[in-house]
Structures are given as structure tokens and as C-alpha cells.
A and B are shown apart, each in its own frame.
Chain A
Amino acid sequence: MAIAMRLRAGGGEIRILMTHPSENGLRKDAKSGQLVPAHFVKTLRVAVNGKQVLDGQLGGGISKDPYLAFRVRGMNTGDTVSVTAEDNTGDTGSVEARAG
């Protein structure tokens, strides 16, 4: 299943919100009492006009629906920002937007 992502860029800042359970493998299901298997986003890459500005490694310690915002030098209105993510099950997601 594709990882759904939302991206906003502008004013020198890139903001990413993913829809993902981010299970660390330590949580027990309230009903069954069984451990919920680990299911979390592992890698996140962000590029501005094709140049990588962030290469992220994430663990299950990141909250559900992972959020990341960061400031980048030299990003201008109209620049293309692209984001790709992959989780520990091999699911991927990507999104692209122009900086406002």
C-alpha cells in the first residue's frame, strides 16, 4: 500500500505529514493482547530541484502519522520539492510540490 504524504514548502521551510501507523513492535493490541508487529517508516528523502537536502532514517519511536518540518537555505518560490519514503514492509510513497 502506498504511503500517503502531504507536503508544503515555502518561506524557507519544508513540511511533511505522512499517514502511517508507526508501530514500534512493542505495543500490545488491547483486544487480543498480542504484540502489534513493527510497521514504521524507515527512510525519508527530500530533494529541492533534484538536490538532496535531507536523508532521514526513522525508527518506531516516531509518532503515528509522522511529521517533519525543517528549514532549508536557498529555497526559492517555484523550486520543485520532492519527497520519497519507504517503510519496513517495503511500502513506498512519494510527493512533489512547488515552493510557494
Chain B
Amino acid sequence: MNATRRLLLKSAASAGLVATAVAAGLLKPRAVLADWNSAAFAARKPADALAAIGAGDAGASPEVRVKAPDIAENGAVVPVEVLTTLADVESIAILGEKNVYPLAALFALSDFDGSLSTRIKMGETASVRAVVKAGGKVYTATKEVKVTAGGCGG
């Protein structure tokens, strides 16, 4: 278990190596969401986190909207709502793009009805990104949030 985890952390540096890990049966395919995605949560760049959740090719969509405050006085608690008019939503991911670990959460969904809200931490002014997978495709949208007091403890 520890050896696997170590390999995954190392592999996170390169999408190619993650693919190798998948081929070696160390990573379950992305369709199975039951296991916590160590590679995605350990990623330090949004692009790496997106690649690790199979959303590297997400395109901007007017059918996805991120609702968050323009200015957050407390970066420790930033309310975020993801709204979508897309049908057959399979999953939603939320990222704070300049956080040390950008991926905040990933939710696999059934019978989803268009709105999901949570609260995330943000260390500094940055975009909040939502990624919605629906009907086998990935869509994304962002919202800039100005943070006046960071919430990541340094």
C-alpha cells in the first residue's frame, strides 16, 4: 500500500507516468470514483490535477457557471456554487487555481439537478475553477475571487 502510494506521488509529476501506472493496474480507471484520487489531490498545478482526473481537455462552456464572491474577506471560507444546465452530469470538480494543492473536491453524481455548493480555502486572489463531466465530455468555467486575507495558513 505504502509502496503504491509512493509510486503514485512520484508519478504525479508526469501524466505519462500516471498512464504507465494505470497500465500497470496501480491506478483504477477514472470511471471508478470510489478510491480517493491521490495523484489528483497531490498535484500542485491545476493542469496536473485536471490531467489526473481525466479533464485535461475540458473546454469552456456557457452551460457551466461558478458563483462565488467577487471579494472574499476571509480566504479560509469562500462559498462556491457550481451551476450547470447540462444534462446527465456525471461529476463535478472544484479547484482553487493558486492553492498549494489546487483540487479541493471531486464529486461523482447521479440524478444531479443543476446546483452544488460548498466552501473552500483560498490562499490568495485567484480563479475558482469548476469542471463538469456530462454525457462523457468535460466542460469548465472559472470565477475570479479577490482574497483580502488568505486562508491556507501561509
Residues of B within 8 A of A31 (CB): none
In the assembled complex, the Cα of A64 lies from the Cα of B120 at a distance in Å of 9
The answer to whether B121 touches A61, judged by C-beta atoms less than 8 angstroms apart, is yes
Is A72 a contact of B153 with CB atoms below 8 Å?
no
A71 in contact with B113 given A27-B154, A55-B33, A61-B121 (CB within 8 Å): yes
Among the listed A13, A42, A74, which residue makes an inter-chain contact with B36, where contact means beta carbons less than 8 Å apart?
A: A42
Q: Does B118 lie within 8 Å of A67, measured CB to CB?
A: yes
CA distance A57 to B154 in the complex (A): 24
Contact between B101 and A24 (Cβ–Cβ < 8 Å)? yes
Q: Does A43 contact B (CB under 8 A)?
A: yes
Q: How far is the CB of A74 from chain B (nearest CB, A)?
A: 6
A56 part of interface (Cβ distance < 8 Å): yes
Of A2-10, A46-54, A92-100, the stretch lying at the interface with chain B is: A46-54
A3 → chain B closest CB, angstroms: 16
Q: How far is the CA of A43 from the CA of B37 in the complex (A)?
A: 11
Given the known inter-chain contacts A43-B36, A62-B121, A73-B112, please indicate yes or no for A26 contacting B104, CB distance below 8 A: no
